[in-house]
Amino acid sequence: MAYTIEEEQELSAIKAWWNENYKFIIVCFVIAFGGVFGWNYWQSHQIQKIHSASAEYEQALFNYAKDPKAQAEQFSQFIKNHEKTSYAVLALLDKAKIAVENNDFTLAEDALKQAMAQSTDDILSSITALRLASVQFQLGQFEPALDSLKLVKEQAWSGAKNILAGDIQLAKGDKEAAKASYQQAQQHASPLEQQLIQVRLNNL
């Protein structure tokens, strides 16, 4: 079927437009394709990095838990290699946990302070601050412990935060402040926590 004059004119116009713009279109296509390929490659690379870091973390923790003294340098190197990441914070939390199990509260405090400096996540920071306050309480550092509790920002930890604050204030001899903290903790406490808090209040 022959083209009409109008179709011939449209075809000529399209050809002319293509001759003028085909290089630009090809470049755009290459850039777009390259962008998609690059994005997929970057995602794949990031996933691979996460898997690699996770495996490295598990191995480093396994070795450190078996022999903290012998593996201290290697464990510290893992933390340094993953500075400002969740893996560094988790490793330091584990280091503190192992130190507490060995009754080395000074080492635990140091590890938790490092974890606070490494953390960029509110949840991890709140957990770390809560554990730091608990360790400082064990060391008899009441004021530093209360200061650490101020760094607990996540609402989910407010109950534990106020209970620990009450325990610290009671140890300081400030029963009124302890009572206020316990009562505040009661507001969002679970049934079990309610019982534990009530026991504390009854003993004031």
* DSSP codes joined into one string, 127-161: HHHHHHHHHHHHTT-HHHHHHHHTT---GGGHHHH
Structure tokens at 24: 């630009």
The Cα 71–Cα 8 span in angstroms is 80
Alpha-carbon distance 54 to 203, whole Å?
46
Helix (H, G, I), strand (E, B) or coil at 119: coil
CA dist 181 and 162 (Å) reads: 5
Instruction: Tell me 104's DSSP state.
Output: -
- The C-alpha atoms of residue 158 and residue 197 are separated, in whole angstroms, by 14
pLDDT tens string for the chain (204 positions)?
A: 444 444 445 555 555 554 555 455 444 554 555 444 443 433 443 445 555 667 787 888 888 888 888 888 998 998 899 888 888 888 898 899 999 999 999 999 999 999 999 988 888 898 899 999 999 999 999 999 999 999 998 888 888 899 999 999 999 999 999 999 989 988 878 888 888 888 888 888
Amino acid at 133: A
Amino acid (1-letter code) at residue 20: E
57 within 8 A of 91, measured Cβ to Cβ: yes
Tokens of 124: 């991890």
- The residue type of 19 is N
| Residues contacting residue 198 through CB under 8 Å, at least 6 positions apart | 186
Q: How many helices (H) and strands (E) does the chain have?
A: 9, 0
Q: How far apart are CA 174 and CA 156, in angstroms?
A: 26
Residue for token pair 């610290």: 168
In 3D space, the residue among 139, 194, 135 whose CA is nearest the CA of residue 164 turns out to be 135
